[in-house]
Amino acid sequence: MKYKNFYFLGIGGIGMSAIARYFKSKGHNVAGYDRTRSALCRALEDEGINIHYEEDIRLIEPEYRNTQDTLVVFTPAIPVDNQELVYFKNNGFTIEKRAQVLGEITRTERGLCVAGTHGKTTTSSMTAHLLKQSHVDCNAFLGGISQNYESNLLLSDRSDLVVIEADEFDRSFHQLSPYMAVVTAVDADHLDIYGTHEAYIESFEHFTSLIQPAGCLVMKKGLAMNPRVQNGVKIYTYSATEKADFYAENIKIGNGEIHFDFVAPNTRINDISLGVPVMVNIENGVAAMAIAHLNGVNDEEIREAMATFKGTNRRFNFILKNEKCVLIDDYAHHPEELKACISSIRNLYPDKKILGIFQPHLFTRTRDFYKDFAKSLSLLNGVILLPIYPAREKPIPGITSKVILDEITAEDKSLCLKEELCEKLKDTDYDVYITIGAGDIELLVPQVKNALETR
């Protein structure tokens, strides 16, 4: 990169913060804006990155006002009328989306890009851990904070492999040039961008066409898509439930543990222990092990790394476990993710009463999928719905959390404001509690934990 200074609009985003850390580690000046001083923003501040939280061009420091030396990186979550974005546009700065910056990195290093409606954060984090704990090594830009490394950025001075979570929102992943790619799922999402499920699937088919000729595609068996690949790209399938090129066999669940055999075209690793024993992680694990195997990680390295994988923040994290109750926090924000999360908890706690606290993410997603959200949430014994987290969107008339509530069949269901949640929880009597959503519900988790401990 020819720039000395990097200025990030929306620096607290999980993907943005990883790139900010990357350029900081390379000795560049890094600063930015975000509207919320989250724990991740505070961590960036501790690492020497200046961040401000008011949308005000006067707060942009002088060195970042030089158009020749400064690259501005922004996330699509930033509104087009953001004062600082407008200032940079009007004054001739080079402005790139996060995906464009990642795309440039994949053209200089070998990108292992994990795409899919859901599962991509855990799969990419697992892949990075498998490579990092082996003789192969890697760099990684992760879509969550790895519990093993307490970071969303992993660096290597001896490997040109880079694991990247490939985001389909706004067609961002079309900026990438993967050496290898994974596609985990193509369930409909982001219909505010794509319009139809068919257009959404076509976007993934275009993504697979970007894989470099010497590379390969690892896709979940049975996906409703026809991948387009260049000559020389090998296509592999994977599955946790049926035979494929890479698959799981002899799955055993008990005593809070999951074990299975990993079967590959030219090897078999018996009795893999799943570090985070959640059913959906068998599938994620098979995909991650397939990529690791294809990049030369040996069988024993795979076995040891899978057992030591600790997971990713806000992906089925146990926050509280005592004699009274269990509290789990999860990022699920799509109906299929909710279903997988709740089903996994049901498997772990088949006879327990479970209450879910869900914050819907985006008005458009709620409008498009409110019946599907309700169907997934109806698997719970009780549901508390918080107001919709708007992120980048303006309200849509008639679309509130109530449209989901009205469709939920669980008997104990209610709406609740964030500031009233903890008081409401003191009067509940459940065995397992889940906080779920991709908005700012994570900021409430410490308060929820305290409320449950002091009931």
88 and 24 within one domain: yes
Per the domain annotation, does 101 fall within a domain? Answer: no
322 and 235 within one domain: no
Q: CB 121: neighbour CB atoms within 10 A?
A: 24
* Residue whose entry in the numeric block shows the structure tokens 């949308």: 55
| Maximal CA-CA distance, the chain | 63
Domain boundary among 284, 308, 332: 308
What are the pLDDT digits (tens) for 160-175? 999 999 988 788 899 9
State mean pLDDT over 165-194.
Answer: 90
* DSSP 8-state secondary structure symbol assigned to residue 306: H
User: Above 70 in pLDDT, residue 148?
Assistant: yes
pLDDT at 81: 93
State mean pLDDT over 215-226.
Answer: 96
Instruction: Pick the range with the lowest mean pLDDT from 159-168, 344-353, 412-421.
Output: 344-353
User: Above 80 in pLDDT, residue 326?
Assistant: yes
Q: CB 78: neighbour CB atoms within 10 A?
A: 21
User: Above 70 in pLDDT, residue 1?
Assistant: no
Which amino acid belongs to residue 72? V
Per-residue burial over 286-313, b if 16 or more Cβ lie within 10 Å, else e, is bbbbbbbbbbebeeebbbebbeebebbb
Q: Confidence band (pLDDT; 50, 70, 90) for 309? A: very high
User: Above 90 in pLDDT, residue 110?
Assistant: yes
Domain boundary among 308, 336, 369: 308
Q: Counting Cβ atoms within 10 Å, is residue 102 exposed (0-12), middle (13-18) or buried (19+)?
A: buried
82 and 173 within one domain: no
Q: Confidence band (pLDDT; 50, 70, 90) for 145? A: confident
Per the domain annotation, does 117 fall within a domain? Answer: yes
249 and 196 within one domain: yes
267 and 391 within one domain: no
CA distance 150 to 43: 11
What are the pLDDT digits (tens) for 90-106? 999 999 998 899 999 88
67 and 121 within one domain: no
333 and 274 within one domain: no
282 and 373 within one domain: no
State mean pLDDT over 283-293.
Answer: 97
Per the domain annotation, does 395 fall within a domain? Answer: yes
State mean pLDDT over 378-387.
Answer: 97
Per the domain annotation, does 382 fall within a domain? Answer: yes
User: Which has more pLDDT, 75 or 413?
Assistant: 413
Per the domain annotation, does 20 fall within a domain? Answer: yes
SS3 label, residue 237: strand
Structure tokens at 268: 């078999």
Q: What angle do CA 225, 226, 230 make, to 5 degrees?
A: 135
State mean pLDDT over 26-46.
Answer: 93
Q: CB 166: neighbour CB atoms within 10 A?
A: 28
449 and 345 within one domain: yes
Order of strands, sheet of 29-33, starting from the edge strand that comes earlier in the sequence = 50-52, 29-33, 5-9, 70-74, 94-97
Query: Model pTM?
Result: 0.77
Q: CB 117: neighbour CB atoms within 10 A?
A: 19
Domain boundary among 46, 65, 96: 96
CA distance 349 to 352: 6
Task: Judge contact between 249 and 263, C-beta under 8 A.
Answer: yes
pLDDT at 214: 92
Task: Judge contact between 290 and 238, C-beta under 8 A.
Answer: yes
Listing DSSP states for 167-181 in one string gives --GGGGGGG---SEE
CA distance 103 to 449: 40
Average pLDDT of the chain is 93
CA distance 453 to 357: 17
Per the domain annotation, does 103 fall within a domain? Answer: no
Residue range of the domain that includes 332: 317-453
Q: What percent of the chain has pLDDT over 70?
A: 100
298 and 230 within one domain: yes
CA dihedral 39, 81, 6, 150 (to 10 degrees): 20
Task: Judge contact between 33 and 8, C-beta under 8 A.
Answer: yes
* DSSP 8-state secondary structure symbol assigned to residue 402: H
SS3 label, residue 322: coil
Per the domain annotation, does 353 fall within a domain? Answer: yes
- Say which CATH number the domain at 349 has: 3.90.190.20
User: Above 80 in pLDDT, residue 426?
Assistant: yes
Q: Confidence band (pLDDT; 50, 70, 90) for 74? A: very high
pLDDT at 392: 75
- Say which CATH number the domain at 197 has: 3.40.1190.10
Number of structural domains (the chain) is 3
Task: Judge contact between 261 and 96, C-beta under 8 A.
Answer: no
CA distance 73 to 12: 12
Q: CB 364: neighbour CB atoms within 10 A?
A: 17
Which of 406, 319, 314 lies closest to 366 in space, CA to CA?
Answer: 406
Q: Confidence band (pLDDT; 50, 70, 90) for 390? A: very high
Per the domain annotation, does 431 fall within a domain? Answer: yes
pLDDT at 89: 97
Q: What percent of the chain has pLDDT over 90?
A: 75
237 and 350 within one domain: no
pLDDT at 199: 94
- Say which CATH number the domain at 26 has: 3.40.50.720
354 and 425 within one domain: yes
Structure tokens at 105: 């990195």
CA distance 125 to 164: 9
pLDDT at 190: 78
User: Which has more pLDDT, 453 or 189?
Assistant: 453
pLDDT at 86: 97
